[in-house]
Each structure stands twice: as C-alpha cells, then as structure tokens.
Structure 1
C-alpha cells in the first residue's frame, strides 16, 4: 500500500462550484477510482489560502498503469473537464503535474 498526498489551489470565484461538484461526485467517477485501486480518498480545503490537499491510499501493484487507465476513461475525462477550470495549479509543481505531489515526512499507524 502506498500513501499519496497532493496539493493544488482552487480559484476563489470557483470555490462554491468545486464544493458543489464534490458533494455529489458522479457514480461512474467513483467506480473508476475504486477500479484503479484507490481507497480512503479525501480532499481537504484550507481557507483563506484556498488550497486543496488530497490524500489517498493506493492498493494496486502498478500505479502508472492504473493512473493511465483512469486518464483514458471517458467519464473521468468529462469530470476533469468540469473540475479543472476550478483549480489553480501551484507554480512549484513538477513538469507534467497538475496536482503537486508532496513528500510524506511523517506517518503513525
């Protein structure tokens, strides 16, 4: 099992839309998240900075393949098309990232 943490900004004028979307995530999107071996997925909001922090556990054996599977899914692509305009990627993210990856520096089970 791998724990993943990521961060991104949310545009202030899109904050309520983002909350509304995530209060009723499409069932097909949730099913794809599960099919890609992701469990315990949460997104947290920090205001007034308008930062979104996501955390999930990856329980598969090939993270890159599962992420490619998710990215190829038409319903997920449609979901991302409505969510991405709400988001504001960090300038400090790595090349190729939308959500900036984070280093885990502490864990206690």
Structure 2
C-alpha cells in the first residue's frame, strides 16, 4: 500500500459549490475510485486549498489512473469539479503530489 497526499487550490467563489457536489458524488464515481485500487480517500479544505489523502493498493498506479480517466461517469464528474479548481502542478496534472515527511501507524 502506498499513501498519497495531494494539494490543489480552489476558486474562492466555488467553495460552496464544490462542497455541495461532494455531498452526493455522481453515480459510479466512488465505485470507480475503489475499482482503481484507491481506499481511505479524504479531501480536506483549508482556506483556498484542498488537500487529498488516499491509499493506493494496486500494482500499476498509472494504469489505474488511465482506467479512471476513461470512465464516462468520472469524466462527467470532472467536468463539474475541474472548473472549481486551480492546479498548482505542471501541465497535464491537476493535483500536485506532496512529499510525505512523517507517518505513524
């Protein structure tokens, strides 16, 4: 299992919309996340930043993320959530991966 921490900025005027969207994700989105070997997934809001934490239990992260990106339900979900976000990462990557500096089980 590999732990991931990611960060992205949220548009201030879209915070409530983003929160509202996440009270009821589109059908199939959460199932696809699990099917792509992601578990224990949380998103936190701090000011104008979103922090995500999840655990990946698969063997090919890139392949699983490509599978998720091809999913029609996920694509529709991203069409409504992406406009709420401002990427801090390089082109082609929405969420910026953070370095884990400490962990305690």
Query: 2:39 aligns to what?
Result: 39
Provide the aligned length of Structure 1 versus Structure 2: 105
Query: Structure 1: where are the runs of 5+ without partners?
Result: none
How well do the aligned residues superpose, as a CA RMSD in angstroms? Answer: 0.9
> For the residues of structure 1 that align with 2:73 and 2:24, how far apart are their CA atoms?
15
Query: 2:92 aligns to what?
Result: 96
> For the residues of structure 2 that align with 1:66 and 1:96, how far apart are their CA atoms?
16
What's the CA shift for 1:39?
0.2
Stretch deviating more after TM superposition (22-31 or 37-46): 22-31
What's the CA shift for 1:95?
4.1
Query: 2:49 aligns to what?
Result: 51
TM-score (norm 1): 0.92
Query: Structure 2: where are the runs of 5+ without partners?
Result: none
> For the residues of structure 2 that align with 1:24 and 1:100, how far apart are their CA atoms?
24
CA contact (8 A) 2:27 2:73 kept: no
> For the residues of structure 2 that align with 1:52 and 1:29, how far apart are their CA atoms?
19
